[in-house]
Copies of this chain bind each other. A is one copy, B any other.
Amino acid sequence: MRIAIASDHAAIELKSELVSWLTDLGHEILDLGPNSSVSVDYPDYGYKLASTVEQGIVEKGIALCGSGIGISISVNRNPKVRCALVSEPLSAALSREHNDANVIALGARIIGIETAKSCVTTFLKTDFAGGRHNIRVEKLTNPQIEMN
């Protein structure tokens, strides 16, 4: 699968570990940075990731920062992208089944590397359930749809 990954300076180590692991698994990884520990602003990288997913350059995205909160908020500013901040695999599964999430966000200071890998594995292998969830996902993509 083609997957883009982006972080801030607090998560470059986790990013690097996930890039190696996913590459070894045969995925094609687009690393959007940063590539040093110099302090950066997470929205810059979140917006770049969201735009890369929106344009269809990749199928899925992985967003990382210290807590995962800041980068997930920035990715979700783009209505064509649905970013789920998770800290365990059940939420990673639900994000795909119910929300058709195309980006997963993880907090490098909150969860360990094996939990992160487990969340990503579940996120990549779980399908959207469709059905009653379709209209909800459509409302996330088109916020102007009327309340019913």
Question: What distance in Å separates the Cβ of A107 from its nearest Cβ neighbour in chain B?
Answer: 7
A122 at interface (Cβ–Cβ under 8 A)? Answer: no
Q: Which residues of B contact A91 (CB under 8 A)?
A: 67-69, 87, 107, 110
Task: Count the copies.
Answer: 2
**A94-B69, A99-B73 known; A47-B143 Cβ under 8 A:** yes
Interchain residue pairs with CB less than 8 A apart (25): A41-B135, A41-B139, A42-B136, A44-B148, A66-B98, A67-B84, A67-B95, A67-B98, A67-B99, A69-B86, A69-B94, A70-B99, A72-B72, A72-B76, A73-B76, A73-B140, A74-B139, A74-B140, A76-B76, A77-B77, A77-B140, A77-B143, A85-B85, A87-B88, A90-B110
